[in-house]
Amino acid sequence: MKIFKDRNKELEMDIDLYLNSLQKGSNTFLEGVKSYLRDEVEQFNDRVKQITDEEREADEHLVNIKYVLFKYNLIPDLSADLLELMDSMDDINDAAKEVLLNLQVIKPNIDPSLIDDFGHIAKKSNKAVETLIKGVRLYLTEFRTVEDYITKTNLFESEVDTLLHNVKLKIFGGQIDCTFSEKLLLERFANELADLSDIAEKVASKLSVYKFKRSI
């Protein structure tokens, strides 16, 4: 007779798969932005489809995580933290998908002089997310080493802020020949790219608190 059905294993797997989906989503976001900036329409559309699937996949895992965690009352002392953490991370995928969908619909015209800047913002935002996900994985296993990843996430976020500021200076500095409304659209696009790192930073700050609760 099995005293416990192995719900713990199910939950552990779901968390792992959820984080994988987030990681994949973030990478797809970067590749999608690159494709858009290179004007590779077919690849870009593929990425949009891919990120939509990955976001759906992540949502399914998140629902499972919530169900197993509450239904079987697993990790009662940490479940609230874990759920909050997982829920906050879902915003990353939502934001990433939103960027690609907006690009597909609005199709902002990126001035060639800004392509590298936008590319860098997307890259650093992706780095922030990637580092955060590594940190979350460590929170689940070796929580004492989480701080390094929190610091790195914050570092990437501040780099993104600097890049964002520079690109805004370029957009509104008169070097680009476009209307004010087009400039606002570019600024919005740049902000959306940077949003990912902002969300990563917010989750990282939560993680730095939750880390203490992991300690007995």
Partner 1 sequence: MDFLVVGLFLSAGLFMGWSLGANDAANIFGTAVGTRMVSFRKAALICSVFVIIGAVSGGSGTSHTLGKLGAINALAGAFAVSASAAFTVMIMTKRGLPVSTSQAIVGAIIGWNVFAGLQTDTSVVIDIIQTWIFTPILAAIFAIIIYWIVKYTIEHTKIHVVKMDKYIRWGLIIAGAFGSYSLGANNIANVMGVFIKVSPFNDIVIGSVTFTGIQQLFLLGGIAIAVGVFTYSKKVMNTVGKSLFKISPINAFVVVLATAFVLFVFSSEGLYNFLTSRNLPALPLVPVSQSQAVVGAIMGIALIKGGRNIDLSKIGNISIGWVLTPLISMVFSYVALSILQNVFLQTVVG
Interface with partner 1 by CB under 8 A: which residues?
3-4, 6, 8-9, 11-12, 15, 73-78, 82, 139-144, 214-216
Q: Nearest distance from residue 123's CB to partner 1, in Å?
A: 30
What whole-number distance in Å separates Cα of residue 133 and Cα of residue 154? 13
Residue 84 exposure: Cα atoms within 13 Å on the Cβ side: 12
Question: How far is Cα of residue 1 from the mean position of the Cα atoms in its chain?
Answer: 43
Q: Nearest distance from residue 143's CB to partner 1, in Å?
A: 8
Q: Which is nearer to partner 1, 128 or 132 (CB)?
A: 132
Burial 12-22 (b: 16+ CB within 10 A, else e): eebbebbbebb
Q: Nearest distance from residue 140's CB to partner 1, in Å?
A: 5
Q: 126 and 33 in contact (C-beta within 8 Å)?
A: no
Q: Which is nearer to partner 1, 71 or 112 (CB)?
A: 71
202: CB partners within 8 A, 6+ apart = 88
Q: Which is nearer to partner 1, 144 or 188 (CB)?
A: 144
Q: Nearest distance from residue 60's CB to partner 1, in Å?
A: 18
Q: Which is nearer to partner 1, 109 or 215 (CB)?
A: 215
